[in-house]
Structure formats: structure tokens, C-alpha cells
Structure 1
Amino acid sequence: MSEAVRAAWNRIEACERRSLADLFAADGDRLGKLSARLDWEEGGAIFDWSKTHLDDELLTAFEALAEAQDFGGRRSALLKGERVNTTEDRAAEHTAQRGVGAETSVEEAAQLHHRMHLLVDAIHRGVLGEIRHLIHIGIGGSALGPKLAIDALGRDGAVIDVHVVSNIDGLALEQAFARCDPATTMIAVASKTFTTIETMTNAASALAWLGQNGVGDPYGRVVALTAAPEKAVEWGVDETRVLPFPESVGGRYSLWSSIGFPIALGIGWDAFDAMLGGAHAVDVHFRDTDGRANLPLRAAFADLFYTRVRGCQTRAVFAYDERLALLPFYLQQLEMESNGKRVTMDGSPVDGATAPITWGGVGTDGQHAVFQLLHQGTVEVPVDFIASIAPGDALDPAHHEILLTNCFAQGAALMAGGNMAADGQDPARHFPGDRPSATILCDDIDPATLGALLAFHEHRTFANAVLLGINPFDQFGVELGKKMANDIEAGGGSFDASTQALLAAAGLD
């Protein structure tokens, strides 16, 4: 840790600690300083961080940390396509897929999108025969993004019925088979390397299912989404149905590339294009805005205040909209796989907490399950609330009014606390309050807004990494488990007595 970075952290830790109630009382313009609206085409959202403990003193101290960690330089390097993934010696060019990046990378992305658009259009027009179902096979980032987008945006009807399968458990694949007619089903195989064992095993079983059910040329029904097109062709996919994406686009950041094929096929190219547009608007804001006014950076300031200074080990995300039910799961991978690290970019051990555990659910279900702990438990958990002004249903407006009322009330209650006893004296009915939350209130949950939300969290994750001095683009912890599983399957490796006994009990020794 450099002297400048250490001095910035010392300054942050020395800031005065005041309650949320005191912060609001002391600054009549607090809402204006810590709440901002960001717009994109035909929509936008309010990002309200006023119910966090950030204040002018802390914001100034965090801005000094950002300067000490060369936030501006690392942001520029990311967006210019420089090799910011130092351990793997490559760039991280997901923003180029949305039009912000090195000129050659943006041009390549546009060409690959055009190729994907042509294939999507051909399938929709019936050039490849009648296709009514798609089984999309991937895992991790190759599955979570498409699954979230299709669930969020395809509820009002889809062009093609899409089923996302990630689990190697055969039950997941059988469930998809049961819902599809093999005569009108296409398979998408999404794997960056086209060697991921779970994905390739599921893909082989899907091909067998097609063949066993009268499809004469199963490989003719496969589309490959990969950064290794030669491996897909070698596996048997016709090169006209291989949709490549660059090696510089990582799995959990790959939704914007050909990994978005099931979104475009399932709910239409216009929806996928609108997602790119919403994300682009956030990219431009992130690129062109400095200091506390940069919304993803401001969110990172709050994140690190709670993890590093107040010792919060988790962060909760509650979507008060059924369309975003899968968002907490998506953010789990994005944040924990990116920033769950224990060394800095120069290989030194980190000197404090990095990523908290991201978890959450949907409101109002969460209120009847876990909010007891949030209000009265002995641990402090920062909460993000995400909601939409426009409802996703056509029922009595009372449904949505109750939903939003509960969302806003939870944030207010976490901050205010109080005692529900008539005399205000019952300890069991006491709520300490002063518990932080942030709220993102969207105009609606449409394709552009979903794209903007995901881009905001990508940049928030990157900003956290820069402030911590870590690399958010590798994931060697994922590779360790894969290696040991491969060792077991190959009959090699030396394992502890417990693991050996479990293997024997399962007949795998």
C-alpha cells in the first residue's frame, strides 16, 4: 500500500461518525447532494444514496482515495481496451460491445452483432425451419445474464420459448426437454473456451435427445456462442452457426456479446439492442463524470465505508419487482467472483475486507422472511432497494401501490428505528434504527433500463476494485474446484480422509 493510499484510508477512518438522523438534520440539501437521476432513451432512474452514512467529509476523503489509487487512469485504461486484467494479460472489453472502447474493438463488436442479427432474423423468418423453442446451455456468466433478461423482459410473451440450463444435474436438462418439442427445438451452446465440462456434457445429452426423437441432423440445430470458434467447428457445429465473441470479454461481463443470442432470439432483436443502449448511457456517464457525481463510484464509496470501516460482511439487494427476481443471483456472481480476492494487483496480501457477501431476494416476500434480522438483528447489513414506478401487471393498481409503499417504508424504518410498544419501553419491540439503505427507483423495467442497471453494477464493481487495488477480472478460485473435480474424474489426486470416504460411499472411488 502506498503512502498516499494509506493516508487516504487514515483520513476516511478519522471522519466523524454521525447517525443518519443527525446527517439529515444537519444538512437541508442532503437529498440533493446524494440523490441523482440518470436518463437514457425513453426512461431513467433515481439513484438515492442519502440514507447511507456518506457525507461531505467522507465523500471528500473517498475522492482522495480514488485519486491515490489512480481511479481516472484505471478507468481510462479499461475503456481504451488496455490490458487491465494483469494476471491473465488481457483487456476487459465488455463496454466495447456497447459502443464505448477502443475504436477497433467497437467496430469488431458491431460486426459480430450484425452477424448475430442476421442469424436471429433468419431463424425468425423460418429459414432454418420451424423453431419454437430454444434450449440455451451454459453456466455462470453464460447462463445467469440470459436467464435474468429473459425472465425480466419476456413475461408479456416471447417470439421463441427459451429455456436456460446451467446445472449439470440431469434433472435440469430433463425439465427443459419436457417443455420442448424436439421437432421445433434449437440448442445454443455457450462456452467461452468450448471446453467447460458441465456445458459440454449437457450439450452432448441435448444432441442425443434430439437424435432419439427423430431429428435427423442434431448438429444442424446447434448454435455455438464462444470465443473459441475453431473448437466449436471441430465439435461439429457448422461455421455459419458459430457466433464468436472476443477473448477480452469475460464470462460474467459477456451478456452484451453473442452470449445475448437467446435474449435476441427469445424476445426480439430490438429488445437486445435497447439493452445495449441503456448500458451505453451508463457507460458514457461513468466515462465522463468525475468524483462523487459519478454514480457507480459514489456507490463504491458507500460499499467500502461499510465493509472496511464499519465491518459489514454482507450487502443485501431486494428487488421490489417480480421482473427482477433473478437480479440478486446475477449480482452475486458479478460482485463476489470479481472482487472476492485476497491479494492486490502487485500480488501483496490485502490489508482488509474486499467484497462482502451479496445476497437478497424480492419484496415483499423478504419482509416476511429475513427483514426481522435487518431491523433487530445484531449485525449491520447495508440494503439496496430496487423498484419501478410503472407496474409490470395489469391488475388493480392497489397491488403496485402496496408494493411501492412497502419498499419505501422499509428504507424509512431501517433508518428511523423506534419502539412499537404503547409506552415505548418494551425492549422486544425496540428497533435501533440508523441502518443504511440505498434506493434505485426506475421509471419502468424495460430493456433499456435493465441494460442500464446491469452496466451500473458492472462499473460499481470495477470502482470498488480500483479503490481496493485488486483485479476484478480473474477468477482463479473457480478454477481450483474445477481442477480437483477433473482430478477425481481422472482417478488421480490425493484427497483427505473425509473426501475419500464420501467418494467411496457414492461409488466414485
Structure 2
Amino acid sequence: MPLKSINPTATKAWRELAVHFHEIKDEQMLNWFEQDQQRAENFLIEWEDFIVDFSKNRITQKTLDLLLSLAEEIDLKNAIEKQFKGDYINQTENRAVLHTALRAKEKPKEVAQALAKIKQFSEEIIEGKWKGYTGKQIKTIVNIGVGGSDLGPKMVTNSLAFYQNHLESYFVSNMDGDLVHEVLQKIDMETTLVIVVSKSFGTKETITNAKTVKKYFEENGCTDLEKHFVAVSANTEKAIEFGIKSTQIFPMWDWVGGRFSLWSPVGLAIACCIGYKNFEQLLEGAQQMDEHFRNEDFDKNIPVILALLSIWYNNFFETETEAVVPYSHYLQNFVPYLQQGIMESNGKSVSRSGEKISYQTGTIIWGEPGSNSQHAFFQLFHQGTKIIPTDFIGFKKSLHQDKFHHNQLMANFFAQTEALLKGKSKAEVEEELQTLSKEEQEKILPYKLVSGNKPTNTILIEKLNPKTLGSLIAMYEHKLFVQGIIWNIFSYDQWGVELGKQLASGILDQIESRKIGENQDSSTRNLLKKYLS
């Protein structure tokens, strides 16, 4: 059975939320904390190694109740079951969406077989049993992919660098030749393994980069390419044609979207660089979040609550953007990874019944690690004209056990959410300026006021490790799914991405033939002329 198509704005809950929004939109969160001494506990979820505090949001219990009613009216529970059971919820591509099966306790046979192959292969690489063409052990992994075939493996490998073994890793994605040539200058060909990741084995960026690397190996004397190239692909024939041995091709499945594929053989580079046991822990952490999402009541369900809050801000406060600020340098690639998952999934304007949507969908995701971000864009948070709901992600324990640094980092972590809540009042500024003359006080006072009342979620995790990272990633996967269900869109197709690819192919032909087509718009035609001149 297909997903139901329900216009959220036509529901009773949505209409009541619209009325409720106008009643409380100018209310101060600090007043709610004073009125309800239990607010901090009532708007908090503790699960496994996670504490999620959503009390610093512009919501009351009535807001939350109405949002939960919206989830019920949309029949979210039924949609969740359809995904987990493998119904073809990606209806425009006639596919199931089963990335959760990749980390389930009882995995499909083909998944279990693929994981066994990953385990054997990664252990051969790590233990030095796999040799290059000159008999030397592999010391470097180069992953060639784009989109989910790059962002996921790169993000996880970099996020878990603390757990990385002796292998060095590089990720090549951009078609810009400067990137691939920079990498080629850094590696030792004799001790390098190249993983080419492409479902179709025809993705332009990936195959262009793979051909360049292959040519480099051939021109520099590699006499046995099979010992240096493996593939992750659904197109075995094309991978073999490229020169990769059939036994060194790992599978991909059409029921796993690229942006959710790091749990699959696409994560081969992860398993090699952090070891298969850590890769298993990553899967286990995601699986635990899957169970929480599938079975927990919505009022204590982390992904559901985060998604409902996002709907509240995007569709009623009209905020449009959300920030994610992880207080860990290891998570510097986390936000770019989320950008693909969230914006590619929910950047849609047609409903599940094929009609143009009249309300806002999707959110623009951005952010950088703290505390660096505090010295970059937090000024906009505190005194700008926009409301930017923000997720703060922090960890109780430092990986290198440096309490001096970690306590300072976490002091900033907690202080920023408090500052965004409280702001700075006129009385507080006047007290700060009391040593100045009255004229000087009046002149500077307006510039030092901070309004506060800015919404944040605090996600406090015991420690960054493969298991908690797996849970964190899965949490955002399920959040975007809930958003898409409520917005009545198909989150798992990506037809908009295809248009640029199609046009690029035609333009490349024109560039190479130096014959500009008459069907180009005048701006593009003029730019091509200047490029070719």
C-alpha cells in the first residue's frame, strides 16, 4: 500500500496550531520557566547515552500536544511501519527505502553476506595480508565517489579519527582536477588501495576521477591494477570493464539511497580505516536508534520531537533555516553530511498526490563546530533580525581526557544556549556601563542589548564513539523522514539533481567540439563563448 497523501494544512491540528501560534508567538520563554518549575524536566528525553533538552524552545505544553496531534492526524505511525516493513514508499522510483535493514539485528541474507565480505577484506588490508603489485602492504585508502558515496564515508572516518588505525585516508569527490592531482602527489602508488564507489558505475564525477587515478597508476609502472582497485557498485559489468576483478566488487542495492548508504558496502573505507569491530558498533548504534524511533511513544521519541519542532519553526515562525553546531572538532564534516541528507530529501514542492504545494517544505541546514562558530556567525544568532533554531551537540567526556580544555569547551556550550535564551536586558547593560557618563551610556546602550528568546535544542551525549555516532546519524535520518511525511512529500527521490547532470552532458559536448548550440539561453551562450575564447 502506498503512503497516504494528506495535506497537513487541511488538518484540524494545523488549523489549531495556526491560532495557537498567534496567541504565543511573542511570549518570552523565560516567563514559561518561571511559571513551570518542572519545565526543564518535562521537556527533556533521556535515552541510552543521550540527553535531549528541548525546554529552550518557543513552545508550551499545548504547543507540543497540538504538534503530537498533527503527527497522529497525518498517521505518522503507519508511515513509519511502512518504511521498516519495506513497502515501496519511494513511489516515484517504485522502490522500498530500507537503509534500516543494513543495521537491523536480523539482516537480509544479501546484507549479511556483504558485511561478511567487508569484514574479511578490511581485516586483510589492516593486517597487511593484502599486498600491492610490488609486494608491499597497503598503507593508504583513496575513496572515489560523490554525494552519499563520499560524504558519508568521509564524515564517519573523519569523525572517528580518534579510533583510526595506521591506514591513511583520502576522499576524492569533486570533478575539479586540482583535487585528484593534489591527492596523487601525496600517495605512494605501491601502498595505495583505491575504492571506486558508484551505484551505476557511470556517475560523471566518480568515473572521471577514477580514470585519472587509473591512468596515473598505469603511466607510473603499476603492472597489476587488480591489486590496487576495488569497487562498490550495482553495475558489475561496467566495473569489470573498467578493470576491476569481479571478486573485488562489493554490492549496492536499489532500496538504499545514496545519502543513506554509509551503512552498506559504501562504508568499506570506514571499515578499513577504523576496523570492522568499530564499524559494527556504528551499525549497532544506528540500530538502537531505529528501535527507539519505531517503538517509542511520540512524546518521548527523539526524532519525532525534533521533527515536530522543526515544522513549528519552519511553517509557523517561517524561519527557513536551522543550524547544527557540534562542540567537537572531530565533527567538522557532520553538517555538510546532514546538508545532503536533509536538503536533498526534503527539497520538494510537489505533494504525494502530484499537486503543487502551497506551504513551505524543507529547511536550509548550516553550521560549523563550536567554539569556532561562536567567533564567526553567532553574532547573527544573538543580535540579528532572524530566528535560527539551533541544535547544540556536545559530549560529557573528552576523547583525549584533557579536562582543562574540555571544561572550557563545555562551559561555552552551555553558556551559548543560556545566552540565546536570556539575552541581555536594559538593566544589565546599564549596570555594565555605570562607569560611563550618562551621555555615553545612552549612546552605546542600544547596541549592547540582546533580545534573547532564541530557540535551541541541547543534545548532550556521553562520549563520541562509533556507537553514539551511529545513533546520532540515524536520529537525523528519522527526523527528516518525519518532516517529509508531515509535509506530504516524497523524501527519497531526487529528480531535481538529474537536471543539472543532463544539461552538463550537452554543454560538455559543445565545449569539446567548440560548437555552441543555438538552443542555449543567451546568458549561457555568451558565457560559453567567453570561456572558449
Do the two structures share a fold, i.e. TM-score over 0.5? yes
CA-CA distance at 1:5 after TM superposition? 4.2
In the other structure, the counterpart of 2:287 is 280
Is the alpha carbon distance of 1:391 and 1:86 closer, same or farther for their aligned partners in structure 2, counting shifts above 3 Å? same
3-state DSSP of counterpart to 2:368: strand
Identify the match of residue 42 of structure 2 among 18, 33, 36. 33
Deviates more, 1:52-61 or 1:356-365: 52-61
Write the deviation string for residues 81-107 of structure 1: whole angstroms up to 9, x where unpaired.
Answer: 11010111101110000116xx6x633
Residue identity opposite 1:401 in structure 2: N
Identify the match of residue 107 of structure 1 among 99, 109, 118. 109
Residue identity opposite 1:98 in structure 2: R
3-state DSSP of counterpart to 1:51: coil
CA-CA distance at 1:54 after TM superposition? 2.8
CA-CA distance at 1:263 after TM superposition? 0.5
Is the alpha carbon distance of 1:447 and 1:253 closer, same or farther for their aligned partners in structure 2, counting shifts above 3 Å? same
Identify the match of residue 238 of structure 1 among 235, 245, 253. 245
3-state DSSP of counterpart to 1:37: strand
3-state DSSP of counterpart to 1:230: helix
The answer as to whether partners of 2:141 and 2:195 remain within 8 angstroms in 1 is yes
Distance of 2:238 and 2:83 partners within structure 1: 29
Residue identity opposite 1:81 in structure 2: G
Distance of 2:363 and 2:498 partners within structure 1: 21
The answer as to whether partners of 2:234 and 2:252 remain within 8 angstroms in 1 is yes
In the other structure, the counterpart of 1:81 is 86
In the other structure, the counterpart of 2:153 is 146
Is the alpha carbon distance of 1:2 and 1:149 closer, same or farther for their aligned partners in structure 2, counting shifts above 3 Å? closer
The answer as to whether partners of 2:123 and 2:275 remain within 8 angstroms in 1 is no
Is the alpha carbon distance of 1:36 and 1:175 closer, same or farther for their aligned partners in structure 2, counting shifts above 3 Å? same
Write the deviation string for residues 271-316 of structure 1: whole angstroms up to 9, x where unpaired.
Answer: 1110001001100000101222111000011001000000101101
> Is 1:418 matched with 2:424?
yes
Which runs of 5 or more residues in structure 1 are unaligned? none
Which runs of structure 2 are paired with 1:281-300 in the superposition (5 Å)? 281-300=288-307
Distance of 2:195 and 2:410 partners within structure 1: 38
> Is 1:20 matched with 2:29?
yes
Write the deviation string for residues 13-64 of structure 1: whole angstroms up to 9, x where unpaired.
Answer: 122413211222222222222211221xxxx111111111233211221122
The answer as to whether partners of 1:319 and 1:363 remain within 8 angstroms in 2 is yes
Deviates more, 1:166-175 or 1:156-165: 156-165
Distance of 1:113 and 1:270 partners within structure 2: 11
Distance of 1:213 and 1:306 partners within structure 2: 56
Residue identity opposite 2:530 in structure 1: A
**C-alpha RMSD of matched pairs (Å):** 1.7
Alignment TM-score, normalising by the size of structure 2: 0.91
Deviates more, 1:443-452 or 1:126-135: 126-135
Write the deviation string for residues 349-392 of structure 1: whole angstroms up to 9, x where unpaired.
Answer: 22211112100001111111111110000111111111111113
In the other structure, the counterpart of 2:342 is 335
Identify the match of residue 412 of structure 2 among 402, 406, 412. 406
Distance of 2:297 and 2:241 partners within structure 1: 47
3-state DSSP of counterpart to 1:471: coil
Alignment TM-score, normalising by the size of structure 1: 0.95
The answer as to whether partners of 1:320 and 1:387 remain within 8 angstroms in 2 is yes
The answer as to whether partners of 1:414 and 1:434 remain within 8 angstroms in 2 is yes
In the other structure, the counterpart of 2:134 is none
Identity of aligned residues (%): 36
What number of residue pairs does the alignment pair up? 500
In the other structure, the counterpart of 2:312 is 305
CA-CA distance at 1:490 after TM superposition? 2.6
In the other structure, the counterpart of 1:487 is 506
CA-CA distance at 1:482 after TM superposition? 0.7
Identify the match of residue 268 of structure 2 among 237, 240, 261. 261
Which runs of 5 or more residues in structure 2 are unaligned? 1-5, 132-136, 433-441, 511-516
Is the alpha carbon distance of 1:493 and 1:280 closer, same or farther for their aligned partners in structure 2, counting shifts above 3 Å? farther
Distance of 1:199 and 1:191 partners within structure 2: 7
> Is 1:503 matched with 2:510?
no
Write the deviation string for residues 205-261 of structure 1: whole angstroms up to 9, x where unpaired.
Answer: 111111222211224311111222333223221111100021100000001000110
Residue identity opposite 1:175 in structure 2: E
In the other structure, the counterpart of 2:256 is 249
Distance of 2:166 and 2:43 partners within structure 1: 41
The answer as to whether partners of 1:224 and 1:232 remain within 8 angstroms in 2 is yes
Which runs of structure 2 are paired with 1:149-168 in the superposition (5 Å)? 149-155=156-162, 157-168=164-175
The answer as to whether partners of 1:4 and 1:68 remain within 8 angstroms in 2 is no
Identify the match of residue 451 of structure 1 among 451, 470, 483. 470
Residue identity opposite 1:415 in structure 2: L
Write the deviation string for residues 65-88 of structure 1: whole angstroms up to 9, x where unpaired.
Answer: 112211011100000011010111
In the other structure, the counterpart of 2:218 is 211
In the other structure, the counterpart of 2:3 is none
Residue identity opposite 1:497 in structure 2: S
The answer as to whether partners of 1:207 and 1:219 remain within 8 angstroms in 2 is no
Write the deviation string for residues 401-450 of structure 1: whole angstroms up to 9, x where unpaired.
Answer: 11100011000000111145234771100111100000111111101011
The answer as to whether partners of 1:139 and 1:199 remain within 8 angstroms in 2 is yes
The answer as to whether partners of 1:133 and 1:162 remain within 8 angstroms in 2 is yes
The answer as to whether partners of 2:163 and 2:274 remain within 8 angstroms in 1 is no
Residue identity opposite 2:273 in structure 1: G
In the other structure, the counterpart of 2:450 is 431
Q: Which runs of 4+ in 1 moved over 6 A?
A: none
The answer as to whether partners of 1:384 and 1:437 remain within 8 angstroms in 2 is yes
Write the deviation string for residues 453-503 of structure 1: whole angstroms up to 9, x where unpaired.
Answer: 000000001011111111110111111111110111133672211111221
Distance of 1:206 and 1:300 partners within structure 2: 42
> Is 1:385 matched with 2:395?
no
> Is 1:364 matched with 2:389?
no
Is the alpha carbon distance of 1:254 and 1:3 closer, same or farther for their aligned partners in structure 2, counting shifts above 3 Å? closer
The answer as to whether partners of 2:8 and 2:488 remain within 8 angstroms in 1 is no
CA-CA distance at 1:3 after TM superposition? 8.4
